[in-house]
Amino acid sequence: MNKKTPYVLTLPLIAAFAIFIIYPLFKVFVDSFYHASFLNPFFRKFVGFENYNWLFTFKLFNPKVSYFLSAFWKSLIWVSGSVGIKVVIGTLGASLLNSGYLAGKKVYRTLVIVPWAIPWSMASMMWAWTLNSEFGVLNSLLMHLHVVDHPVTFLSLPTSAFIVTMIVDAWMGLPFMIIMILSGLQTIPESLYEAATIDGAGDLKKFFYITIPMIKPVLLTVTLLSTVWTFNSFDIIWILTKGGPMSATETLPIAIYKVAFLMTRFGGIGKASAMTIFQVAVVTIISIFYIRTLRKETES
Amino acid sequence: MRGRMGKKIFYQIMALLLMAFLLLPIYQMVITALRPANLPWKSPMPLVPEKVTLTNFVTAFNIVPRLPRYLLNSFIYGIGVSVISLLVAIPAGHALARYHFRLRKPLMVFVIYANMFAPIMLLVPIYVIMKKFGLINTYLSVILSGSIFTIPLSTWLVTSYMQTIPRGIEEAALIDGCSDYSVITRIVIPMISPAMVSVFIYAFVTGWSQQFILALTLIKTDTLMPITQGLYQFFSRSSVRWNELMAAILMSTLVPVTMFLLVQRYIIKGLTSGSVKE
């Protein structure tokens, strides 16, 4: 075997990373110190830390918190909520689909994957219609079950829009969660449960003292992965609310897009780049944790 | 005995509730697509359509005549992303699984890191780069920028699949005088065809999904729009043609969903196996 062979074989990969990840990252970093906008492509001026200063001083809707910080906060809460739902329902759902008491597991396991394969934008349109206040099936269901008397306008109130988009995002991430946790559950030896049964442990005890500790590594990796993906989530909010009502769902990705491409008068490439630096920073920090846990897992 | 029975029923109910949540919008799509468009809306809507028809699947093409074009575009974007992902992932995955070289470990780590990236993080510089090369408004812009987000996991899937197959045949071929590169075309590619199918479909489905934000920024001409943007034509200022829209979504998701269900086992296997270790 030639010593050069692996380098030739990985050259396309290295080139792809260099051109489309490393160079863009470098460009984001450099641009964050410049004044530039898509309005006038020839105008470009070095402004030092002015864009970063803008992040913490420019206020739009909220007189107390800057536009960027408010988006960043919303992102953090939105992501924790959505990931929280995914982890809890994912763990419970996976245990359910792994249980000996459940009939028809094969069918359930196939159906569970379906949302995964639907493009996010189309799924968001389906949800927009499902959540429609007058004719959506969710309101119809709630009214038929007499949970509510009047249709609920899920997407037009700030708080409910925030929660609903969070749940829709959880819906999209759940299949991956359930499947990954399920594969973790399947590696737990049956004998552990048998021994616990002989010792007189109930189901709850088995769940907390055997299941959870045994799937902890899987749980940790999927939680980190899902956190990053959720943090980068764009389509759902864009299609359902475009960041509204009253900027209630304006998370960091939405704010970056708006500042870069829509609010060209006071925004622009430089400011959007400065915001992107924070987006990248969060993703990088979580990635470091993720790579560490993966390494630990393979070493043990 | 009664406890067992009670538990069985309880678990069944919980599983049905979970499915109800996961399949709710899909159910909504199906009943709306099948309900005649001329039937007046009711509030609350009936949970089962009063009448069932297939005309929406035809009228969808009348309302948005470019629908086939959008579908074709999405298909081109999807295939383009899949092909590029495979072209990069096969040699790279082979090298990472079979060769010991200095860049191996850093590359593996970078593959995992790159897998965390999403279009929104690099949208601004990608737009600038594409503009510089005059690629705005071309198929290539969405295909190239879309591939970068599927290449990492594709490489990972190939690497971890290769680690599960013995290297004996490849070594025998090398001794028989096969070159390092013809081993890939003659031995490796036929052997890893299941992994290739799953990479192809994974990249296709993901590429299909990511088209939304990429096309939103990189494509301005209507004739190059993917289906994800084309669907917006069912939204007019005053109303939305929900019946036809849902029929169109049903038609355009049928193929990717079926393909994905067929290979999900391989994708999951690839995701759960594989290691960063030497």
Please name the residue that has the structure tokens 């075309």. B185
C-alpha gyration radius of chain A: 23
Q: Among B15, B99, B228, select the one facing A121 at the smallest CB separation.
A: B228
Whole-angstrom Cα distance, residue A196 to residue B209? 45
In chain A, the number of structural domains is 1
- Output helix, strand, coil percentages for chain B, rounded to the nearest 5: 75, 0, 25
Residues paired with A90 in a beta bridge: none
Q: Do B62 and B43 lie in a common domain?
A: no
Cα of B68 to nearest chain A Cα, Å:
16
Tally the domains of chain B. Answer: 2
Domain interval for residue B131:
58-272
In a shared domain, residues B35 and B123 = no
Q: Do B181 and B228 belong together in one domain?
A: yes
Q: Which of A201, A204, A228 is nearest to A284 (CA)?
A: A228
Residue A183 included in any domain: yes
Query: Are the beta carbons of A227 and A289 closer than 8 angstroms?
Result: no
pLDDT tens string, chain B, 278 residues long: the values are 557 888 899 999 999 999 999 999 999 999 999 999 888 887 778 888 888 899 999 999 998 899 999 999 999 999 999 999 999 999 999 999 999 999 999 999 999 999 999 888 898 889 888 988 999 999 999 999 999 999 999 999 899 888 888 888 888 888 888 888 888 888 888 888 888 888 888 898 888 877 788 998 999 999 999 998 889 888 877 788 899 999 999 998 888 888 888 877 777 776 666 444 33
Helix (H) or strand (E) holding A26: helix A23-31
ipTM of the complex as predicted: 0.88
- Is A188 among the domain residues? yes
From chain B, the residues in CB contact with A121 under 8 A are 209, 211-212, 228, 231
Contact A179 B245 (CB under 8 A): no
The alpha-carbon gap from A9 to the nearest alpha carbon of chain B, in Å, equals 5
Residue B261 to residue A114, Cβ atoms within 8 A: yes
A1, A3, A20: which to substitute to probe chain B, counting the most B Cβ within 10 Å? A20
| Residue finishing a domain among B53, B74, B92 | B53
Those residues whose C-beta lies under 8 Å from the C-beta of residue A86, and which sit 6 or more positions away, are: A170, A173, A174, A177, A226, A230
Same domain? B124 vs B21: no
Does A151 contact B at CB distance below 8 Å? yes
Residue-number span of the structural domain to which A208 is assigned:
59-299
Does residue B1 sit in the same domain as residue B131?
no
Domain with A294 in it: what CATH number?
A: 1.10.3720.10
Condensed to tens digits (0 to 9), the pLDDT of residues A184-222 reads 898 888 898 889 989 888 888 888 999 999 999 889 988
Q: Are residues B134 and B197 in the same domain?
A: yes
Residue of A nearest to B4 (CA): A101
CATH code (residue B236): 1.10.3720.10
Alpha-carbon B67 to chain mean position: 20
Same domain, B29 and B75: no
Question: Do the Cβ atoms of B64 and B230 come closer than 8 Å?
Answer: yes
Residue B42 sits in the same domain as residue B63? no
